[in-house]
């Protein structure tokens, strides 16, 4: 099938992936102080891993890589031990295991994600303008 909006599959997959990434970043920030999760351990920082998938063009003109998925993985960063003897989750020596999350790192990541999102939106606008021009062929 000829798509009127060329390249829109890879762009929509990318928009989806960036949205997932922003969701994960906000989850990380929200849980920056969570010392107990449902598994009884402190919250573990999550990262999004991007992977490409090759999309074979039907007319055999070549291969276009579309962004397949954004996998969410837990990072193996060790917990931050903070001395807080009065805390209910403190161990015998008075240390509390805190999630090792840096707000600055998350914010920088968030800005990168939203800029990439915008770049993909520019592609959508462009594809739309091109489709309208194509539809106007033969008209004055």
Partner 1 sequence: MIDALFNSPNYLAAKKSLDAVALRSEAIAANIANLETPGYKRVDLSPSFRAELERACASGDPNQLASLRPALAADPSAVPTGRDGNTVNLEKEMMELNSNMLAHSLETQLVSGALLKLKLAITGKS
List of residues contacting partner 1 (CB under 8 A): 6-8, 10-11, 13-14, 50-52, 57, 61-67, 112, 116, 119-120, 122-123, 126-127, 129-130, 133-134, 136-140
Task: Give least dist CB 101 to partner 1, A.
Answer: 20
Rounded CA-CA distance 24/20 in Å is: 6
CB of 27 to partner 1, least distance (A): 19
Q: Which C-beta is closer to partner 1: that of 93 or that of 125?
A: 125
**What span, in angstroms and rounded, lies between the C-alpha atoms of 60 and 127?**
22
* Strand partners for 96: 82
Contacts of 125 (CB under 8 A, 6+ apart): none
50 Cβ neighbours under 8 A, 6+ residues apart: 17, 67, 69, 70
The residue among 88 and 138 lying less far from partner 1, judged by its C-beta, is: 138
CB 64 → partner 1: shortest distance, Å?
5
């Amino acid at each position: 099938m000829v798509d009127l909006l060329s390249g829109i599959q890879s762009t929509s997959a990318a928009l989806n992936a960036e949205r997932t990434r922003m969701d994960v970043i906000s989850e990380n920030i929200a849980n920056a102080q969570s010392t107990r999760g449902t598994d009884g351990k402190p919250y573990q920082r999550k990262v999004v891993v991007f992977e490409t998938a090759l999309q074979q063009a039907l007319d055999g003109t070549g291969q276009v890589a579309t962004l397949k998925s954004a996998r969410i993985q837990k990072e193996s960063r060790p917990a931050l031990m903070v001395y807080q003897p009065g805390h209910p989750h403190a161990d015998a020596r008075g240390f509390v295991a805190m999630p090792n999350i840096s707000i600055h790192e998350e914010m920088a990541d968030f800005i990168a994600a939203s800029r990439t999102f915008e770049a993909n939106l520019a592609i959508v606008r462009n594809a739309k303008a091109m489709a309208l021009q194509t539809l106007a062929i033969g008209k004055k």
